[in-house]
Amino acid sequence: MESDYYEWGNRNNQTLVFLHGMGSAGLSFGELAKLIMNNYHIVSFDLPGHGGKAPLPNEKDYLPTSIVENLSILIESLGLTNVILVGHSWGAHLALYLAGLHPKKVKGLILLDGGYFQQDPVGDSLEKQLENIDVFTEKVRYPSREAFLESEKEDSPTWSKEIEAGRLAQVIEFDGEIRLAISSFTAKAVTKGIYQEQTANIFPKVLFPVLLIRSTLPVEVEDDRRTAIEYLVKNIPQAEVQAIPNTSHDIYRDAPETIACKINEWINRKL
């Protein structure tokens, strides 16, 4: 994993290391970072096969245990200590593994609607998920960056230069079209890794304060959410859970100001 990273705020403040979800990029946190950068030092990375980062050669390289070994080395190379990990979706999964396997580097965990489900929330089998990846990655095609951005703006409650930069980091130009930066191979490898190394395996080793900020939409999976959360809290008793009304899985994009407030309040109270 190359050492390129994105940075906001003052290095003299508490460091927050942001880990993005599958298909996203380090710059996707720009809007949220802008809201809290006066209080913290914020670092994020493009994970392998995402944004500007080259993909890894083998599926096994995407196992959470493998990814976090490289992340641990990267964090150490930057001279970062006692960090607070903030992970979204797959990034929350990785944050739990990083904290459990390298506890001396971590001070606390903030999970943005991730890390608590032990199965696909929609109930799809692994085989079905892999089929859906092929369909989705092949479907996302735009004639230009402008067309892609117009589509993204339609689904975004707000817009800014930070949001635009984050969206553009998710795509590349290929054969005259705008396509997803993440390949079908990488997406499948990540999905298989999540399936093979579930977060339940690492829960007993997570001994830090944990904040799960979770979504409430779609309402159809609320019962499954509650069951998964009960399991997390049972196995990580120090975990705290806060639900944000009217938010989807892209919770930090739906309500960045609210998420910023929740992060500030929890860190001031718990750490």
Residue-range domains of the chain with CATH: 6-270 (3.40.50.1820)
Residue 1 confidence (pLDDT)? 39
Residue 2 confidence (pLDDT)? 43
The whole-number average pLDDT for the span 155-170 is: 94
The model's pTM is: 0.96
Residue 16 confidence (pLDDT)? 98
Residue 123 confidence (pLDDT)? 83
- Asked if 143 contacts 177 with a C-beta cutoff of 8 angstroms, the reply is yes
The whole-number average pLDDT for the span 130-151 is: 95
Side chain identity at residue 171, one-letter code? V
Percentage above 90 pLDDT, the chain: 94
Q: Parallel, antiparallel, or unpaired: how do β-strands 141-142 and 177-180 relate?
A: antiparallel
Distances (CA, A) of 87 to 93, 95, 137, 173: 7, 6, 23, 27
| Residue bearing the bigger pLDDT, 220 or 122 | 220
Task: Render pLDDT for 62-76 as a digit per residue (tens, 0 to 9).
Answer: 999 999 999 999 999
The whole-number average pLDDT for the span 27-32 is: 97
